[in-house]
Amino acid sequence: MMDWTDRHCRYFHRLLTRHTRLYTEMVTTGALLHGDVPRHLDFNAEEHPVALQLGGSEPADLAACARLAQQWGYDEVNLNCGCPSPRVQRGAFGACLMSEAALVGDCVAAMREACALPVTVKHRIGVDRQDSYDFVRDFVGTVGQRGGCSVFIVHARSAWLEGLSPKENRELPPLRHEFVGRLKADFPDFCFVANGGVASDAAISGHLAQVDGVMVGRHAYHEPWALASWDAGFFGAPVPAEAESREHAEAGMVAYLSRLHGRGLPWATASRHMLGLWNGTAGARRWRQVWSDHRLKALPPTEVARQAAAARRAGQRAAQDVTA
């Protein structure tokens, strides 16, 4: 979820669910070892539990970054072995590592030695033409035995590194969630989290009947109101106050945007993450148009929220007139 699940997005999602674990966008080891560490690692205390996702292939570099994850207070550090982007391929990490199970095991072992955090691996079920169940089974077995990893987040698609764009890699390789269930049967002591194409609470429940967890990516981003039911539905916990209504969720995010504005920070970069909040309701398009209007970004967020609410109500009235 590069450029999507930044700290502002995670803050918004945390308003809607207190118990779902949040993951950062992938941060490369080079960005941390040679770049602006606070810019990449700083996060809001409200985000816990939150995991840092790393991209890299050098055990020593990943170990150094795992230590940083612990120092900055993350709850988990995750090694990405599934991203198919060309930039990641040039760096020989991400999905490329699916063909280097022994190296992944060494990376995980180094990370576990360097910190006390849980070290997890996110991966595909195959890469290019290596997409049989035996391939992913052997990958998990090697990483588990060599690296001591016991938690695997499985995007149930192969990564086709030649001939497909990153977007096509999220859509064209067929989903094979049955592979995740087979992995759980073959490695019952490991924790397996199903990922890929999960777009409803019913789908989440179906996966949880077979594996230990579910990771939801783009559906959670594009339809954030779906998160509002998760604490009660999957954790047996109270519904957060901000998740009692979309109005409450919007108010919580506007308060956050106002704090950014008060510090002289550009709030529009954060407000983009809530544009799906009113999806499927009358007036949602007009509401989005106001929040997306760059001519308004110099105004206080409370004023933009007032204009957006008025636009949404106008859209509701227009919809009622059409159906009357």
Q: Which residue numbers are catalytic? A: 83
- Do 27 and 49 meet the contact criterion of CB atoms below 8 Å apart? no
Question: Closest Cα to residue 166, out of 106, 124, 109, 113?
Answer: 124
Q: Using omega within 30 degrees of 0 as the cis cutoff, is the peptide bond preceding 49 cis?
A: yes
Rounded CA separation 310/92 (Å): 50
- Do 84 and 98 meet the contact criterion of CB atoms below 8 Å apart? no
Q: What length is written for the chain?
A: 324
Question: Closest Cα to residue 32, out of 55, 10, 48, 6?
Answer: 55
Rounded CA separation 185/182 (Å): 5
Cβ-based neighbours of 300, under 8 Å, separated by 6 or more:
258, 261
